[in-house]
Amino acid sequence: MQKILHILFTTFIINCANAQQTAKLLYNWQDTSLVGSFAYNNTYNECWGLVVNNREFGIIGTTAGTHFFDVTDPANSTQVAFVEGGYTGGGVIHRDYHDFAGYLYMVCDEGSSSTLQIVDITDLPNSVNVVYDSNVLFTKSHNIFIDTATAKLYACASNSAMDVYSLNSPTNPTLIYSYNDVGHVHDAFVRNDSAYLNCGNSGFRILDFSNVNQLGDQPTLLGSLTSYPDAGYNHSGWLNDNGTIYVMQDENHGYDVKIIDVSDLSNLTVLSTFNSGVDPNSMAHNGIIKGNLAFIPYYHDGLRVFDISDPSNPIQTWKYDTYTANDHISFKGAWGVYPYLPSGNIIVSDMQTGLYIIELSTETENILNSNFQDNIYPNPATKKFTFTSDADNFILFNSLGVKIREEQLNNNQKTIFRDNLINGLYFYLFKKDEKIISSGKIIFK
């Protein structure tokens, strides 16, 4: 019987975990001396993460350049290096980053003096060393992605819709292909030569670049999708670990995020769509998948995290509001996210409020490991029970995990009355300040 109760309770807690929780802030950096952009008054843009010499680093771009932070001890994070951009000031909106073979590759999408910058990061946290800073290959690029398995850099919206460079010599990129079958490639995700391209108003395409190793070689089109729910400006996306699911954002106010089944490239299928649930004009930006979680910087709504283990039914599980103004116009708020640090800490960048290090709550794990430690008596109960926790909210569920009662508790209330509940097994949660502080089972007889 106890085993059955544990299974029921575990199922109940997992269902409860579907309700979003607020992530915990570990660190925030802002520099008010930096200028905002002329277009959107955003000082900050993309973020990235690194592990070098057994330490964790957070990267963020600004209108001034690229800032490197040692975030190994988040509460004591420190800026350890800075590289000035080739183009700086109020004209800057976009910077982008990717690392490969001990180097960080850095681009900007504005300014006639912009360059491709390559920085040796192997001496962090002591220093970084700029080993390449030139516009010979290109001046501007909107986004870059490096397929580390094949040593190829994909520069989106550069000299062409997208240009591909060999990194066989990491500090001396060599152009091997220029893609112009569409007018614009906004962003790309590439794994083992399979390139998932977000092509703005031309939709979504997947190409095979395995035969592209020098100028003159041609890729193969594997699949495309131009008609789908909330089709707009196809902006960015990310592939899950086993290559079956692609989460894609169209950068239009009020448009949902899409989950696409890419297991059959000849039959790309939208399995579901989802949104932050905050405002009809909410808009998603540069999402990333880690495991079964989709991390979506949701502009004005901050970071939103969704459980996509059932891709037909994504569930919002965590949030962190980096931008608190109650508006959904223009482009403001959370820009980028990096969820791959070994510590599990998450890097987030916000256009107005800077660099964040956050951690996801583990309260659900704590509940699952609590071994039914009830905080109520008597149990079983007949007409009422008394609780000991310092809670401001009580939630009761039936044996199927369906919520049947919720009460706001006053400061002096320590008793819950049965009222018209039938005999049987129930589960409860006590919450304080929207966080679960105790849980368990109650039997009425």
Over range 298-319, report the average pLDDT. 92
Give me the number of domains the chain comprises: 2
**355 within some domain:** yes
- Mean residue pLDDT across the chain: 91
pLDDT for 127 equals: 98
pLDDT for 372 equals: 39
Specify whether 154 is located in the same domain as 144.
yes
- Does residue 229 have a cis bond before it (omega within 30 degrees)? no
Q: How far apart are CA 221 and CA 213, in angstroms?
A: 16
Specify whether 108 is located in the same domain as 196.
yes
Instruction: Give 391-400 pLDDT, tens digit per residue.
Output: 888 888 876 6
Decide which of 325 and 271 is more confident. Answer: 271
pLDDT for 367 equals: 44
Instruction: Give 157-200 pLDDT, tens digit per residue.
Output: 999 999 999 999 999 999 999 999 999 999 999 999 999 999 99
Specify whether 183 is located in the same domain as 298.
yes
Lowest mean pLDDT among 8-17, 67-76, 238-247, 266-275: 8-17
Which of 311, 343, 364 is the C-terminal boundary of a domain? 364
Percent of the chain with pLDDT over 90: 72
**285 within some domain:** yes
Q: How far apart are CA 145 and CA 209, in angstroms?
A: 14
- Does residue 125 have a cis bond before it (omega within 30 degrees)? yes
Nearest by Cα to 300 from 273, 277, 325: 325
pLDDT higher than 90, residue 429: no
* Helix and strand counts by DSSP (H, E) for the chain: 2, 36
pLDDT for 183 equals: 96
pLDDT for 246 equals: 99
Give the CATH number for residue 427: 2.60.40.10
Specify whether 309 is located in the same domain as 339.
yes
pTM of the model: 0.81
pLDDT for 373 equals: 47
Give the CATH number for residue 152: 2.130.10.10
Specify whether 387 is located in the same domain as 317.
no
Specify whether 226 is located in the same domain as 78.
yes
How far are the Cα atoms of 244, 245, 248, 289 from residue 241, in angstroms, in the given order?
8, 8, 15, 8
Q: Which amino acid appears at position 157 of this protein? A: A
CA torsion, ordered 272, 187, 104, 48, to nearest 10 deg: -40
Report the relative pairing of strands 220-225 and 204-208 from DSSP bridges. Answer: antiparallel
Which of 330, 364, 398 is the C-terminal boundary of a domain? 364
**388 within some domain:** yes
Percent of the chain with pLDDT over 70: 91
pLDDT for 413 equals: 79
pLDDT higher than 80, residue 1: no
Nearest by Cα to 126 from 57, 225, 43: 57
Neighbours of 32 (CB within 10 A): 6
Contact between 119 and 130 (Cβ < 8 Å): yes
pLDDT higher than 70, residue 383: yes
pLDDT higher than 70, residue 430: yes
Q: 169: which residues sit within 8 A by CB, 6+ positions away? A: none
pLDDT higher than 60, residue 343: yes
**17 within some domain:** no
Burial of 182 per CB tally in 10 Å (0-12, 13-18, 19+): middle
Domain limits at 375? Answer: 2-12+366-444
Q: How far apart are CA 50 and CA 70, in angstroms?
A: 9
**423 within some domain:** yes
pLDDT higher than 80, residue 366: no
In this prediction, residue 278 has a pLDDT band, given cuts at 50, 70 and 90, of very high
**18 within some domain:** no
Q: How far apart are CA 251 and CA 213, in angstroms?
A: 32
Specify whether 6 is located in the same domain as 36.
no
pLDDT for 111 equals: 98
Q: How far apart are CA 405 and CA 259, in angstroms?
A: 33
Which of 364, 382, 400 is the C-terminal boundary of a domain? 364
**39 within some domain:** yes
Specify whether 287 is located in the same domain as 400.
no
pLDDT for 404 equals: 81
Burial of 360 per CB tally in 10 Å (0-12, 13-18, 19+): buried
pLDDT for 326 equals: 84
**246 within some domain:** yes
Neighbours of 324 (CB within 10 A): 10
Specify whether 265 is located in the same domain as 203.
yes
Specify whether 171 is located in the same domain as 225.
yes
Specify whether 194 is located in the same domain as 168.
yes
Report the relative pairing of strands 415-417 and 143-147 from DSSP bridges. Answer: unpaired
Specify whether 322 is located in the same domain as 381.
no
